Amino acid sequence: MPAAPQRSNLPKLSLHVPEPKFRPGDEVDFSDVDVPAAGSASRPDSAADPAEFHQLAYTLVRVLGDDGQAVGPWDPRLDPDTLRIMLRNMALTRAFDERMFRAQRQGKTSFYMKSTGEEAVAVAAAMALAQDDMCFPSYRQQGILITRGYPLIEMMNQIYSNKGDKLQGKQLPIMYSDREKGFFSISGNLATQYPQAVGWAMASAAKGDSRIAATWCGEGSTAEGDFHSACTFAAVYRAPVILNVVNNQWAISSFSGFAGAEATTFAARAIGYGIAGLRIDGNDPLAVYAATQWAAERARTNQGPTLIEHFTYRAEGHSTSDDPSAYRSAQEATAWPLGDPVKRLKEHLIALGEWDEERHAAQDLELAEMVRKTQKEAEKNGILGHGMHQKFETMFEGVYEEMPWHLKEQMQQMLDEEAAAGRPGPKR
């Protein structure tokens, strides 16, 4: 490369490459993370003009204070039974993650992704939506399926790609799909679900339906072009959609600065599109519930979309293929100023006199046992690597509605080769 001409009278330019505050071995100090007091954020009418959301896009909506009490205008005032269900769903999601992570480590499947620390973002949101609202999740909202009562064994069958797997072993583990539970097929390609959710919402509106759509992506994925397209479409057509950005600070090894977080918040992106934007404490299940409920009401009354930034922390590795100790300080997760969502809801229920440590411990045991039993059941259908669980032909099915001649031909070729090699396919 030829050297740039030097003009001595002008200052040299320099390139800013973001760098996270802490790297492995560093002492972590989050004191500069601005954590407003619970209850301090205002709660506008759900029909308010998007222009009124400047302030809410830069603060943090919080309901649960450090004393475990729910305060302020965003308190959704849930009854204790609902709170206990929420806690149970979150604890179950965590128990499921623990077990499946271990299953991957034991070589029973190829891959897993936990949502540890982010359970509220999926569970509380799913509880605030109607059962028939359509969700377009990323790979880290397994809590939605759990909240909607999707059978754990179905999830495990999928993770094991075994003969019980309804997706016929076609998808990487955790890329679930369940039409009946309003859970759209997860894609490996980041952010593609964003415009799709907007399209679903537009269709619902065009048809005079009453159902809305919600979608989730990580803060890293907001840098994809699809995010921009989706926000533009959502704003232009006032689509009844909730756009959730789960800002867990990390996109694999890249901190949120590489998605633009040094300069502004993700909720503030909404302002430029003319979308209502809320920035909330993503580890506060009541704040997640309240914001989702608010956004759902806004969508259902034809007031248009809402973008919600859930400020949270990815407490564990990105996936079973990732070792976070290679790029961030091990202290970060424990030092995170917004705590742990499960613990915070537990403390709230205890503060209300509706729960106690003994019941909590007993529930954890019960859930772990339930997951373990279900896992045993699922493993009867097989685990990955122990033979091929799907009939060979399934590989060619579903590419098109009807199998074209060239796939039939390739299928026959494969069957002949397999037969000649003496490998009988599994019976369906």
- Measured from the CB atom, the residue of 56 and 246 that comes closer to ligand TPP is 246
- Measured from the CB atom, the residue of 165 and 226 that comes closer to ligand TPP is 226
406 binds, among other proteins, ligand TPP, none (CB under 5 to 8 A by kind): other proteins
Strands 213-218 vs 134-136: parallel, antiparallel or unpaired:
parallel
Q: How far is the CB of 125 from ligand TPP (least distance, A)?
A: 15
Note whether 272 binds other proteins by CB under 8 A: no
Q: Is the dihedral of CA 287, 297, 272, 202 positive or negative?
A: positive
Q: How far is the CB of 249 from other proteins (least distance, A)?
A: 26
- Measured from the CB atom, the residue of 171 and 254 that comes closer to other proteins is 171
Kindly tell me which residue out of 377, 404, 419, 426 binds other proteins, with binding defined by CB under 8 A.
404
DSSP state of 133: S
32 binds, among ligand TPP, other proteins, none (CB under 5 to 8 A by kind): none
Sequential DSSP letters for 255-316: EGGGGTTTTS-STTHHHHHT-EEEEEETT-HHHHHHHHHHHHHHHHTT---EEEEEE----S
Q: How far is the CB of 216 from ligand TPP (least distance, A)?
A: 9
Alpha carbon of 41 to those of 33, 247, 267: distances in Å? 17, 19, 14
Q: Which residue has the tokens 């896009």?
A: 57
Note whether 336 binds other proteins by CB under 8 A: no
Which residues, listed in sequence order, are joined to residue 70 by a DSSP beta bridge? Answer: 64
Note whether 236 binds other proteins by CB under 8 A: yes
- Measured from the CB atom, the residue of 225 and 337 that comes closer to other proteins is 225
Q: How far apart are CA 331 and CA 348, in angstroms?
A: 25
Q: How far is the CB of 314 from ligand TPP (least distance, A)?
A: 5
Contacts of residue 79, Cβ cutoff 8 Å, sequence gap at least 6: none
User: Quick check: helix, strand or coil at residue 28?
Assistant: coil
Note whether 136 binds other proteins by CB under 8 A: yes
Backbone angles phi, psi at 214, to 5 degrees: -135, 145
- Which residues contact ligand TPP (rule: CB under 6 A)? 138, 140, 188-190, 217-221, 246, 248, 250-252, 314, 318
Q: How far is the CB of 186 from other proteins (least distance, A)?
A: 8
Kindly tell me which residue out of 153, 203, 351, 411 binds other proteins, with binding defined by CB under 8 A.
203
**Which of 288, 278, 233 is CA-nearest to residue 76?**
288
Note whether 226 binds other proteins by CB under 8 A: yes
Note whether 170 binds other proteins by CB under 8 A: yes
Kindly tell me which residue out of 74, 194, 294, 311 binds other proteins, with binding defined by CB under 8 A.
194
| Beta-carbon count within 10 A of 398 CB | 11
- Measured from the CB atom, the residue of 217 and 275 that comes closer to ligand TPP is 217
Six token digits for residue 323? 């070792």
- The closest residue (CB) to ligand TPP is 218
DSSP state of 110: S
Sequential DSSP letters for 154-213: HHHHHHHT-TT-TTTT-S-TT---BTTTTBPPP-SSTTTHHHHHHHHHHHHHHTT----E
Q: How far is the CB of 161 from other proteins (least distance, A)?
A: 12
Kindly tell me which residue out of 195, 240, 277, 341 binds other proteins, with binding defined by CB under 8 A.
195
378 binds, among ligand TPP, other proteins, none (CB under 5 to 8 A by kind): none
Note whether 32 binds other proteins by CB under 8 A: no
Q: How far apart are CA 184 and CA 180, in angstroms?
A: 9
Q: How far is the CB of 223 from ligand TPP (least distance, A)?
A: 8
Residues in contact with other proteins by CB under 8 A are: 134, 136, 166-168, 170-171, 175, 177-179, 184-185, 187-189, 192, 194-204, 206-207, 213, 225-226, 228-230, 232-233, 236, 398-401, 404-406
